[in-house]
Amino acid sequence: MANLLDQLAAMTVVVADTGDIDAIKQFTPRDATTNPSLILAATQIPTYQNLIDRSLQESRQAMGPGASAEEVVCEALDEICVTFGKEILKIVPGRVSTEVDARLSFDTQATITKARKLIGLYNQAGISNDRVLIKVASTWEGICAAAQLEREGIHCNLTLLFGFAQAVACAEAGVTLISPFVGRILDWYKKSSGRASYPGPEDPGVVSVTQIFNYFKTYGYKTEVMGASFRNVEEIIELAGCDLLTISPALLDQLRLTDAELERKLNAFDPAPTEAQIHLDEANFRQMLAADPMATEKLDEGIR
């Protein structure tokens, strides 16, 4: 019998959720996602010190001799994220996700400007837009920014997504991909309910992603669904068949070492019955989000 990872890869695009280049080499996923915390963790690995040094040098050169230390650091953060992204793209055949500064989450124009800068750094290295996803927070402002970026041919991964309103607004904006945070949703419900655990099919994060997936497929939205932020293998098993799943190296290893039959739970060609289609303007979006305390709290916490 094949291991769970091989079976999963046959029905879902497996993505590595890490900035650790050696871990990506080990699991050979199609895509990879990064965020500032993952890049920070990777920068602590001595092997990658040369990448950090190169990024700092390039940022100093880009800013010129008159730049302040703060300006150099801000430039270096972008350089470091893109430097790791370029190295990752030497390994994966697909795409890498690189995140816009979360401090820009409520500023549409600043998000657009930062995204153009990041994709420009990739383009300067000869990397085309189709190999990069710009990660943007799923605020109303972020979704509006992503809609404009998609019109410009800059593909977006909408992150910090916890609620149905966020997902629907992203799909209507025509974004390339969304990353619903399975594990962080579970964290909130465990804390709120006092329960120590949930069975896989009842896991609130699993239920949320399942709802979003079936809604998108029923109404023909092109936006891809990529489950993210997993706490355990059971959550991954329950979302087998999702468009993509981004998984940490530790959980990828667990899947690889487990021999068991994996059942497809989600099917894009035969989605489960879902609710009536809705359309959201800004007022309806904000009203729906405000009515969901979990999504509101987790979005604010993620940005902080």
DSSP string covering 194-239: --S---GGG-HHHHHHHHHHHHHHHTT---EEEEB--SSHHHHHHT
Contacts of 184 (CB under 8 A, 6+ apart): 162, 205, 229, 298, 302
Indicate which residue of 114, 135, 217, 265 is catalytic.
135
Residue 25 annotated as catalytic? no
For residue 125, which phi and psi values (nearest 5 degrees)? -90, 10
d(CA 119, CA 294): 32
d(CA 118, CA 82) in angstroms, rounded, equals 7
**In terms of C-beta density within 10 A (0-12 exposed, 13-18 middle, 19 or more buried), how is residue 128 classed?**
exposed
Contacts of 232 (CB under 8 A, 6+ apart): 251
**Catalytically annotated residues:** 135
